Amino acid sequence: MAALERRCPEVSDHKCIRKPPCGDECELDGVNWCPGMPKHGRPPRWIREARAAREADQLASDAGPADDSGSRRRLLATMPLHSISSTYGEAGLRERFAAEIAEIPEPDRHCLEDALQLASRLHREDWRQNEPYINHPLRVAIRIIAHYGIHDPDIIAAALLHDTVEDHAAELAPNGRPDPQAALTELADRFGLRAAGLVADVSNPKYNPYLDGDDRKEHYRQHVAASLDTSPWARVIKASDFTDNGVGLIHTTGPRIRYLARRYTGLVPVLREMISRSDTPLSEPARQRILAQLDQAA
């Protein structure tokens, strides 16, 4: 384990760019990379690669080599999703996802593999809360399968892709412009109108610089309520997304945690009402599981 340092190797003076510095120590091997560092806390490539290699080695040590898929999948199937993330990283989540979709017949399984490949490419340089961004859509999709009991490939594909238009419209759109509609058309061409429509329903509204903090949160709440009102399946994806973001607050540090907590708390009544509706396509155990989690977040 690398020694803890109060410095950053990406800036010339090796000092944290946070104003004022948080005073927290940052592990330069990337285990606890401070979000006050440059590029929203994304470590340099060499740190990310070293971390991924260490996580893969840990998975092999705990659950056997890669060719022993049965043993590895039995271990991962017993673990909470954020525990997989913190212990085995992206490699562990990918293996858990592969196990969850193994019984889905072709060509639907191949379509889901393509969706994951596209999401991975678009989010390849994204970083959030001390982990690769792709871990988030992986957990959202796995939760829908394993915890909600849903194996509909359109829903799973939309879960994997749910942040792609919002964050990478220009890379998706054929004209290379940040055009959400063109990006959605591209998703529809590749994964079907239903999956693309669900991505549209769970995407956040365009940033409005004229709204202050409270107005922006209220605008976001109203947008979510309107989007989910007529899209029952989008409620399922949003519930998993919200759950993942809420659990992720445990792993968030610094002043951003207060902003995120206020933002997510305002959604609890909206999601509770939506999940409680009779047309929301969830089994009763899954519905009660989500409602209990929302009650804890309130």
Cα dist from 49 to 29, 30, 46, 184, whole Å: 10, 10, 5, 32
In a domain, 273, yes or no: yes
The three-point CA angle 144-147-149 to 5° equals 70
Structural tokens at position 43: 């470590």
Quote the domain boundaries for residue 269: 208-298
Confidence category of residue 298, pLDDT binned at 50, 70, 90: low
Is residue 72 domain-resident? no
Q: How many helices (H) and strands (E) does the chain have?
A: 14, 4
pLDDT higher than threshold 70 for residue 226: yes
Q: Residue 250 has what DSSP assignment? A: G
* Residue 288 is assigned to a structural domain of this protein: yes
Tokens of 5: 């340092």
Q: Report residue 31's pLDDT band, with 50, 70 and 90 as the boundaries.
A: very low
Q: Which of 167, 171, 179, 229 is catalytic?
A: 167
Residue 259 pLDDT: 56
For residue 57, being part of any structural domain is answered with: no
Contact 89, 51 (CB under 8 A): yes
pTM of the model: 0.85
Neighbours of 222 (CB within 10 A): 12
Give the model confidence (pLDDT) of 151-171 as tens digits. 999 999 999 999 999 999 999
Q: Looking at residues 5-32, what average pLDDT do you find?
A: 44
Cis peptide before 107 (omega within 30 of 0): yes
Q: Are strands 26-27 and 4-5 parallel, antiparallel or unpaired?
A: antiparallel
Mean pLDDT of the chain: 83
Other CB atoms within a 10 A radius of the CB of residue 105 amount to: 8
Does the structure show a pLDDT above 90 at 195? Answer: yes
When pLDDT is cut at 50, 70 and 90, the band that residue 185 belongs to is very high
Q: How confident is the model over 51-67, as a mean pLDDT?
A: 85
Domain count across the chain: 1
pLDDT at residue number 111? 98
Our answer to whether residue 166 is catalytic in this structure is yes
Separation between Cα atoms, residue 8 and residue 16, nearest integer Å: 6
Q: What is the pLDDT of residues 76-121, one digit of tens each?
A: 999 999 999 989 999 999 999 999 999 999 999 999 999 999 999 9
Nearest to 156 by CA among 168, 167, 142, 169: 142
Question: What is the per-residue pLDDT for 296?
Answer: 80
Measure CA 5 to chain center: 29
Residue 296 maps to a domain: yes
Does the pLDDT value for residue 233 go beyond 90?
yes
Burial 148-165 (b: 16+ CB within 10 A, else e): bebebbbbbbbbbbbbbb
Residue of 166, 171, 179, 229 marked active site: 166
**If pLDDT is split at 50, 70 and 90, which confidence band does 11 have?**
very low
Tokens linked to 288: 């009660």
Are 294 and 271 contacting, i.e. CB atoms less than 8 angstroms apart?
yes
217 falls in which pLDDT band (50, 70, 90)?
confident
In a domain, 226, yes or no: yes
Residue 34: helix, strand or coil by DSSP? coil
Instruction: Pull the structure tokens for residue 32.
Output: 């606890």
Residue 289 lies in a domain: yes
Q: Which of 13-27, 49-63, 187-201, 264-278 has the lowest mean pLDDT?
A: 13-27
Mean pLDDT of 278-282: 98
Q: What tens digit of pLDDT does each residue of 68-77 get? A: 777 888 899 9
- Answer yes or no: is 223 within a domain: yes
Q: Which residues, in sequence order, are CB contacts of 33 under 8 Å at separation 6+?
A: 26, 27, 41, 42, 43, 47, 130
Q: Mean pLDDT, to the nearest integer, of 191-213?
A: 85
The reply to whether 13 belongs to the active site is: no
pLDDT, residue 182, reads 96
Report how far Cα 69 is from the mean position of its chain's Cα atoms. 25
For residue 232, with 0-12 CB atoms within 10 Å meaning exposed, 13-18 middle and 19 or more buried, which class applies? Answer: middle
pLDDT at 12: 40
Q: What is the pLDDT of residue 205?
A: 76
Q: What residue type is assigned to position 10 of the chain? A: E
